[in-house]
Amino acid sequence: MASPPFLPLLLLLLSLLLLSPPQSYSYESDKVNLTLYYETGCPYCRDFIIHPLAQAMGSDLVNIVNLRLVPWGNAYSIGSTIVCQHGEDECLLNRIHACIIAVARQPYMFDIIKCTEEQEEQQAANNMSSNPSAVWTYCVDKLQFPKSPIEHCSNSGMGEKLLLKYGYDTTHLKPPLRGVPWVTVNGIPLAQEYKKFVSYVCNAYKGKSLPSACRKSSHDTEKSSNEEHMCYRA
């Protein structure tokens, strides 16, 4: 007997239920919304995720932010066909990121994303061509996260749907996104000041006890990024 055609979808839904926190319930309103609009093929996005963002997410700042990742960047769609700035491989990794975001709860979600960006950076530094499939499976194995929910999401068309939704969110930003990485704090874009996001988050926080990450002044010394530290649509 052939397995019913909806079995993969059923498995995906089950794994979503098991692995993903119910966003609407876990959402904490006194936290600061920190949103990163990015694309996986942009070296400045990679650098931002691997260094300042990872540092912040490894500190107690993590307790006061709702981190939202939006992997779309300068991509565009023609109907349901997605065209990415850095080609097909970038589209694939963006889709994998969308699936990781959908199925993995924190801290796995950010750790897996960070791992894939580190791997991509390493390959770029060695002049190796990007290999998104090898990269994400390596990272998921390394962090002992199950592969199948991500695979199902990516192959079932759900990944594509998630991406198109991210595309809608990105292209409807007000004010519009000018380049990536594009960081917003409570919806306000930091534009060229994106590397100073820790100060902005700390200033926006209305809660009682400020995390110690806010007391350190090191983040204040981050220079503003100049225009060249963003990827623009060609």
Contact residues: ligand NAG, CB under 6 A: 33, 126-127, 186-187
Q: Which is nearer to ligand NAG, 127 or 221 (CB)?
A: 127
CB of 119 to ligand NAG, least distance (A): 16
Distance of alpha carbon 147 from alpha carbon 131, whole angstroms: 17
CB of 2 to ligand NAG, least distance (A): 42
Q: Which is nearer to ligand NAG, 68 or 178 (CB)?
A: 68
What Å distances lie between residue 33 and 7, 158, 188, 190, 228, CA to CA?
Answer: 36, 25, 10, 13, 26
Chain center to CA of 209: 27
Q: Which is nearer to ligand NAG, 175 or 187 (CB)?
A: 187
Q: Which is nearer to ligand NAG, 92 or 190 (CB)?
A: 190
**65-71 vs 32-38, strand pairing mode:** parallel
CB of 190 to ligand NAG, least distance (A): 14
CB of 165 to ligand NAG, least distance (A): 13
User: Is there a cis peptide before residue 21, judged by omega within 30 degrees of 0?
Assistant: no
Distance of alpha carbon 62 from alpha carbon 107, whole angstroms: 10
Q: Which is nearer to ligand NAG, 12 or 56 (CB)?
A: 56
Judged by phi (left if over 0) then psi (alpha if -120 to 50, else beta), residue 198 lies in alpha
CB of 109 to ligand NAG, least distance (A): 17
State the CB neighbour count (10 A cutoff) for residue 30. Answer: 10
Which helix (DSSP H) or strand (DSSP E) does residue 36 occupy?
strand 32-38
